[in-house]
């Protein structure tokens, strides 16, 4: 991922040096278990572990691995060779009985687990902003829109409440996917444990409080990774849904809310008056990328026989990029919603802009419930006057009052056009949540 869209934590997490530190954690954990079970000399781990702690793997080590890999054309061989160069003879029992994918896949799970922790914290922060704004704007009237057209009154806070609950579901999916990759695979070539006891895998999994993979071939099944990318892609759709709404509300003819516009910020190189929703447009674009990464993850599930590496090159791109973008986009949207500029007066103006048309359903029900009209007859009266209101700009209440076929009197019409009636259950909706 380009630096422009990387959070500091993700940049460190997916660095080459940190990838090798994860590989070393797997190797050392396996070596410790092997030493405890007598599969390697008892002091193999005790000798090597202090050396790695005193001289941890760094960027220089990553450079050296790259130099060796240019010759070996094999990343794990280059890694173990560089370990021997760095730590000497104590490293000779590293990778004993393991195959490359044991280390690569298990270490990759370590990195994914940490990446998901970061994303989950970011989603929790966005969720908290939505909660605060839901409370702040709980009773702020605004017009609800369906098909982009004014529908009926609602409150601005309900938008945030809906987003908050969507993020709760995103967190559930991300946590479930995280559990799916919290598995250790140390089963050797083609997954038969021929050169490494299953007890090693079990011991490492127990030490990490993870699970041993119950059965593998020479790779972890990639449906696990596809599930992670699916949860991330769905999170992206939530971020996009929120962003698209903000973009609409910022349109000049709507202008009910807008992104924060900083001191010194410029909206256009040519039009000084412009304030554009660039942050939420940016998030919308990122959501498209997240969906694209999922397609690749799904393609990675089907591999030849017990193993091929067609997934490997793709995962070197999609896993850092998807997790990094998800973190970045979530943080960007958190800032937008936290500092959102809101115009309640404009919301009320827009709500009343159509001359009361948005109260048509209440009129319809009063004709049916209070005056005893059949539904078709009642609908005909309301629709006829509503369409005339659309065309002429006259208020719906005035047209109904003048309609000789309308049996509603002034008191009835006052009742039909009450804004408060439409919002009377908002407290009940909020009562379903601990806010």
φ, ψ of residue 149 to 5 degrees: the values are -110, 145
pLDDT mean for each 10 residues of the chain (435 residues): 88 96 97 94 94 95 96 94 94 93 96 98 98 98 96 98 98 98 94 93 97 92 96 98 97 94 78 85 96 96 89 92 97 97 97 95 95 94 95 95 94 95 97 95
pLDDT for 278 equals 86
Domain boundaries in the chain? 1-96, 100-260+275-348, 357-416
Q: Would residue 312 show up in a list of annotated catalytic residues for this protein?
A: no
74, 139, 195, 268: the catalytic one is 268
Q: Would residue 248 show up in a list of annotated catalytic residues for this protein?
A: no
**What residues contact 102, with CB distance under 8 A and at least 6 apart?**
26, 30, 185, 186, 187, 188, 196
C-beta of residue 70 within 8 angstroms of C-beta of residue 154: no
- What is the fold of 100-260+275-348? Fumarase C; Chain A, domain 2 (1.20.200)
Stated as kind and residue range, the H or E segment containing 277 is none
- The number of CA neighbours under 13 Å toward the Cβ of 62 is 12
pLDDT for 414 equals 94
pLDDT for 218 equals 84
**Distance from C-alpha of 257 to C-alpha of 280, rounded to nearest angstrom:** 13
Domains 100-260+275-348 and 357-416 share a fold: no
- What is the fold of 357-416? Ribonucleotide Reductase Protein R1; domain 1 (1.10.40)
Q: Quote the DSSP letter at residue 307.
A: -
**Burial grade of 147 (CB within 10 A; 0-12, 13-18, 19 or more):** exposed
What's the whole-model pTM score? 0.94
Please give the CATH number for the structural domain made up of 1-96.
Answer: 1.10.275.10
147, 269, 270, 273: the catalytic one is 147
pLDDT for 421 equals 96
């Amino acid at each position: 991922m380009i630096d422009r869209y990387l959070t500091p934590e993700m940049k460190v997490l997916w660095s080459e040096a940190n990838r090798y530190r994860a590989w070393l954690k797997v190797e050392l954990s396996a070596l410790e278990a092997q030493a405890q079970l007598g599969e390697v000399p008892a002091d193999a781990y005790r000798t090597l572990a202090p050396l790695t702690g005193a001289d941890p793997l760094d960027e220089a080590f990553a450079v050296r691995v790259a130099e060796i890999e240019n010759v070996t054309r094999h990343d794990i061989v280059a890694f173990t060779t560089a370990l021997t160069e760095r730590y000497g003879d104590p490293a000779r029992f590293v990778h004993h009985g393991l195959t490359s994918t044991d280390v690569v896949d298990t270490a990759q799970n370590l990195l994914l687990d940490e990446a998901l922790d970061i994303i989950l914290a970011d989603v929790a922060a966005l969720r908290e902003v939505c909660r605060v704004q839901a409370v702040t704007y709980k009773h702020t009237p605004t017009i609800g829109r369906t098909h982009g057209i004014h529908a009926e009154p609602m409150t601005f806070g309900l938008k945030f409440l809906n987003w908050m609950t969507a993020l709760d579901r995103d967190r559930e999916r991300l946590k479930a996917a995280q559990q799916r990759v919290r598995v250790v695979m140390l089963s050797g070539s083609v997954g038969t444990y021929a050169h490494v006891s299953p007890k090693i895998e079990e011991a490492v999994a127990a030490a990490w409080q993870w699970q041993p993979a119950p059965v593998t071939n020479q790779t972890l099944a990639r449906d696990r990774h596809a599930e992670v990318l699916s949860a991330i892609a769905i999170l992206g759709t939530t971020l996009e849904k929120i962003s698209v709404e903000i973009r609409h509300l910022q349109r000049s003819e709507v202008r009910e809310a807008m992104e924060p516009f900083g001191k010194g910020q410029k909206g256009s190189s040519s039009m000084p008056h412009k304030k554009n929703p660039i942050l939420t447009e940016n998030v919308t674009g990122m959501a498209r990328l997240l969906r694209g990464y999922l397609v690749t993850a799904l393609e990675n599930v089907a591999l030849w026989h017990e193993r091929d590496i067609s997934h490997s090159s793709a995962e070197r791109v999609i896993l850092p990029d998807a997790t990094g973008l998800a973190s970045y986009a979530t943080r960007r949207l958190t800032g937008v919603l936290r500092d959102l500029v809101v115009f309640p007066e404009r919301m009320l103006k827009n709500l009343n802009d159509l001359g009361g048309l948005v109260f048509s359903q209440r009129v319809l029900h009063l004709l049916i419930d209070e005056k005893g009209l059949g539904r078709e007859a009642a609908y005909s009266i309301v629709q006829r006057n509503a369409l005339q209101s659309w065309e002429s700009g006259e208020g719906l209440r005035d047209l109904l009052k003048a309609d000789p076929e309308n049996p509603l009197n002034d008191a009835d019409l006052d009742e039909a056009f009450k804004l408060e009636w439409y919002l009377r259950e908002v407290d009940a909706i909020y009562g379903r949540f601990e806010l």
